[in-house]
């Protein structure tokens, strides 16, 4: 929940993705139209499963398509933690978005308690299988692995942890997998160099245009 239309325009005007990197910008709903003016690829931060109806505060896939939005994030860890998202609702959102021609970044990941209890694979299996059953290995679907314990905490999964989690996700659903969890310019290169890490879902590190550009440049150097 950062950057209204004015700040979004300034960010998009200053940002130029390096050669060979696909960069997607995901501003809040009120800033989508402003972001689209830039010509960058723009995703929403969420999307509802119904085309329309009594769902106050929600936004549907047809509304996003009419605006010109290319895709949406679903199931971000903050949506799961603070707003009651479940594996079922995440899967329904993903399926509806793909059905209407949107691209989807579907987020999965375990909490610190779940990892310490040895339940990382169990949690990921349940989450990924729900998405796979609803949307399948679709060409417009990407999974983002977000270890919840590494989001906003300053902690980051080690390269080995990221590689192992991504390999496990891909053993269930054969789609590209992004890493998300305190990705910064100083760790992006190491994380993105790991086998099975196909990109990054960048949170706080994307708010500053120079930081986000540096992360994109780290990806570009590996392409």
**Residue 19 designated active-site:** no
Residues 198, 175: Cα–Cα separation, whole Å? 10
Sign of the dihedral through C-alpha 40, 27, 88, 107: positive
**Residue 40 designated active-site:** no
What are the structure tokens assigned to 171, written together? 């053993």
Question: Which of 85, 110, 114, 146 is an active site residue?
Answer: 146
Name which of 213, 169, 151, 160 is nearest 190 in CA terms: 160
Residue 159 is classified by DSSP as H
User: With DSSP H G I counted as helix, E B as strand and the rest as coil, what are the percentages for the chain, rounded to 5?
Assistant: 50, 10, 40
Question: Which of 76, 85, 110, 114 is an active site residue?
Answer: 76
Instruction: Give the long-range contacts of residues 173-178, CB within 8 A, separation 24 or more.
Output: 173/128, 173/129, 173/131, 173/132, 173/137, 173/143, 174/137, 175/137, 175/138, 175/141, 175/142, 175/143, 176/142, 176/143, 177/142, 177/143, 177/144, 177/145, 178/105, 178/142, 178/143, 178/144, 178/145
Which residues are marked as active site?
76, 146
């Amino acid at each position: 929940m950062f950057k209204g239309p004015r700040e979004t325009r300034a960010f998009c005007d200053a940002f130029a993705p390096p050669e060979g990197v696909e960069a997607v910008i995901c501003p809040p709903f009120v800033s989508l139209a402003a972001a689209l003016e830039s010509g960058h690829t723009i995703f929403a931060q969420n999307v509802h499963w119904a085309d329309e109806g009594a769902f106050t505060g929600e936004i549907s896939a047809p509304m996003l398509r009419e605006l010109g939005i290319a895709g949406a994030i679903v199931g971000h860890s903050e949506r799961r933690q603070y707003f009651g998202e479940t594996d079922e609702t995440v899967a329904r959102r993903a399926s509806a978005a793909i059905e209407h021609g949107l691209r989807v970044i579907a987020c999965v990941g375990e909490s610190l308690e779940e990892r310490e209890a040895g339940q990382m694979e169990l949690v990921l299996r349940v989450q990924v299988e729900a998405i796979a059953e609803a949307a399948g290995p679709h060409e417009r679907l990407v999974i983002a692995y977000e270890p919840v314990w590494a989001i906003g905490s300053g902690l980051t999964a080690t390269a080995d942890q990221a590689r192992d989690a991504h390999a496990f996700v891909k053993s269930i659903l054969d789609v590209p997998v992004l890493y998300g969890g305190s990705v910064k310019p100083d760790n992006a290169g190491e994380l993105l160099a790991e086998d099975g890490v196909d990109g990054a879902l960048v949170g706080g590190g994307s708010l500053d245009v120079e930081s986000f550009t540096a992360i994109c440049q780290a990806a570009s150097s590996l392409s």
